[in-house]
Structure 1
């Protein structure tokens, strides 16, 4: 195939192989000879506002995210257009190629009848029980802990967009690539970003992820002040739906209530004005009826067996705000910041299932004396340490941080566990990434090995635990970690699931 060499609008040389490797709704995509980037040309002519938007996305907005001290951190979170090109009367963008882990290593079941081997891992393949169970090789699916990490990555990326004053406008499993084996995700199709008040959306979104107020007013003219168009608050709805999809493999609004006998009107009402959470605690009208559920959708669509509460105290509260309080009140929806914080705390609450055959492998501690994996029903037996974090707000006065850490063999303590002013995000310094200690179970007892905490003492006895020491942890023990900006107290709660 011929290699075409052109100049981007910034003057740099761009090359692409004259062979279409993929086509979307709006663009045709070509590989560069080295395959490190692609060139995507729009099939239709762009108006002046669309070109100006692309100039801002590849220019000022890109620079604001990637060209400063935390810029490298964000490169894996987005597939962000870098340059604008023009060839044969068509405008295009230069975009980095997807990383290797975002392509299927294995085909679909039954000799890859879907022909997905080597194709990109669009999130839609992993966001429903039916798709996972019917089509995907088990080696592509990952375990439940990885979907928590995928959700965290998406929330973090959306938080960064919103902090820059941008809205994605079409956040959905079509525009997110995931790799459940590694727990990674990246947001694609960034060239349609919405700048509120400046660049309106090109599309209203993807069905299943469009906010109810957008669906309900879609029949109005775009110039009608009552028409709701995609913005940051509608992104928040789509983000909540995505997280619910990935963690529970079902849609939060697609129950079995019929609003109208006309299928199109029923769809508009179900996703718009009359949208109702399938797990609404006081209104059961839109429950999922098990008699209508396919075997390949179980157990995920059984909301009695796997209710949203299995996502733990932090995530489940945000689901309630997103799909009960905020479903028809956009101002009440959780922000991407709040999702990020809830997911970080929830990841600290996961524990491994003791059943080696459990397909999900992990679950969130339910704060009971008999922790049980909701996915396979296996109970944990034995002593289970839980760490409750308290921080010093005034001299000698410690306040609960509403943050806990589940302990299991080789569980690690990091700086964000020992100091409330440290958060595991793009601002995390290199020295803060170093592990502070880890836990082991030895001779029927639990121990904390102090690796990097020089100011660790027993808060009650004042006994000092130097770096390198092993501390037996028992119920009620309080460990105090000294910090420059306020100490942190680790209160050990020992759950005895044998009792």
Structure 2
């Protein structure tokens, strides 16, 4: 039986681990604590003074910068962040929380294995190996992407870059829509701590690949940074939503495989769905059956992700692919994902694998995954904001309605955002929508200042009362600063 090793961390606290390797990565061997609540990972090669100083800062001041602030406990679920530094047998080690249970397969052929992101980002792996209940829904994939964007936004706000953001370093659970960024011990502090690695293939930014041959210290050499994280984040989101890579298409840039890879992902990288240069479109005849239908960009184009994400994908893979300063920030991805989830509709086909689709603003909406057309009346709520009292302007923000859907304070007031700073009170539904007796209604649950302002005199909708959603109806959700007006649009099918 393996013995339990007892150590004292550099912060003076006790650390224990069972002397039995449970996993090995590229740089570390990992051991469980006796109660399996945390793990200890020891670097196989000696770490120099700079590496040790960086790790000390990661478990110290950088950790405190994120977790030690008001609302810091929110981030415990979105990161697997090192907590302590230890030394044993001349090796440096880090202590990290054990992964949460939902990040392990609970059954099937991968029972007990980690839900590494690659299983859910690749059409081939999803279609060949995963059971339907392990895949989640399209909506839960949006929730996963939202949490990843939020975690990266927080890292960047602290002045840190992950440096190796990839599906290897993100754990996801499509069943619940949760995600966590891992391997945070290689964080880059621009200007202070250079990166240990250039990244993982598929996620390395073109400029890093393009200048990889240059010597360290060459001013033209590009290393992982916040800008390269932004490229990797865009690739991750594209892959989790569409299950294909945005740059791996049918174009061959060199007959030598290694050179072709370097060019196709580096200097000559080209978006597979570029609107004018179609030379890198995937060749369907070259795709395996397990890569379809996701690999067919004509059948499932990136526009099915909705207008807000389409704009950001364009900036990431067209404007910013070779111009890092034009790439969308994590904050922009977060906002676009929030607004897109408000455009989601449940598919009316109970056997649809995706279960949800993004409303495409058409008069005849249909699910792009299974082709099922929406039948019935569909309310679309157009949100307006007030720049001055009595004046309202469109906000380029819509809320799709479905039966038993909830209304929240971030819909009511434009100054409230659903993120780690959302107050517990604002997380409670303030209203809900129902299809009742052949009519769509909105029931006011908690809004003291809700009015039907379609006609004069306006009519108050008191708490507990409801208003019917008819075409053109105008409902003021709140008269407070930032309060929104909704204008109902009915789509009939």
Alignment TM class, shorter chain as reference: over 0.9
In the alignment, structure 1 residue 349 sits paired with structure 2 residue 350: no
- What count of residue pairs does the alignment treat as equivalent? 490
Match of 2:487 among 487, 491, 498: 491
- What is the CA-CA distance between 1:222 and the residue it aligns to? 1.3
Name the counterpart of 1:369.
Answer: 363
**Cα offsets for 1:416-440 (capped at 9, x unmatched):** 0000000000110111111110000
Give the whole-Å Cα distance in 2 for the aligned partners of 1:311 and 1:486.
28
Q: Is the 8 A contact 1:440 1:446 kept in 2?
A: yes
Shift of 1:481: 2.0
C-alpha deviation, 1:309, in angstroms: 0.1
Q: Distance in 2 between matches of 1:104 and 1:384?
A: 37
**Pairing 1:382–2:364 present:** no
Partner of 2:61: 60
Contact 1:106–1:140 (Cα < 8 Å) also in 2: no
Alpha-carbon distance between aligned partners in 1 of 2:442 and 2:335, rounded to the nearest angstrom: 26
Secondary structure class of the residue paired with 1:236: helix
Aligned partner of 2:83 in structure 1 is: 82
Give ranges in structure 1 of 5+ residues lacking alignment: none
TM-score (norm. length: structure 2):
0.99
Q: List per-residue Cα deviations over 1:222-254 (Å, max 9, x = no partner).
A: 111111000000000000000000000000000
Distance of 1:85 and 1:134 partners within structure 2:
42
Residue 205 of structure 1: which of 188, 193, 199 is its match? 199
**Pairwise mapping of residues 302-451 of structure 1 onto structure 2 (< 5 A)?**
302-451=296-445
Cα distance in 2, alignment partners of residues 174 and 474 from structure 1:
48
Q: For residue 226 of structure 2, what is the aligned residue in structure 1?
A: 232
The separation in 2 between residues aligned to 1:420 and 1:98, in whole angstroms, is 35
Structure 2 counterpart SS, 1:427: coil
Aligned pairs for 1:13-24 within 5 A: 13-24=14-25
- Counterpart-to-counterpart distance in 1, 2:351 and 2:134: 17
Q: Kindly provide the CA deviation profile for residues 348-403 of structure 1, in whole angstroms up to 9, marking residues without a partner as x.
A: 00000000000000000000110000000000011000111111111111122211
- Distance in 2 (alpha carbons) for counterparts of 1:482 and 1:346: 23
1:186 CA displacement = 0.2
CA shift digits 1:72-121 (9 cap, x unpaired): 111100000000000111100000000000001123xxxx2xxx310111
Distance 1:242 1:272 in 2: 17
1:444 deviates by 1.1
2:46 alignment partner in structure 1: 45
Question: What is the RMSD of the two structures over their aligned residues, measured on CA atoms?
Answer: 0.7
2:132 and 2:353 in contact (8 A); partners too: no
- In the TM superposition, structure 1's runs of 4+ consecutive aligned residues that sit over 4 Å from their partners are none
- Cα distance in 2 for partners of 1:207, 1:487 equals 46
Contact 2:41 2:94 in 1 (8 A): yes
Q: TM-score, normalised by structure 1?
A: 0.97
Mapped partners of 2:487, 2:353: distance in 1: 32
SS of 1:287's equivalent in the other structure is coil
Distance in 1, Cα, partners of 2:272 & 2:319: 14
Work out whether 1:266 is the aligned partner of 2:267.
no
User: Which of 119, 124, 128 pairs up with 1:130?
Assistant: 124
How far does residue 139 in structure 1 lie from its aligned partner after superposition?
2.0
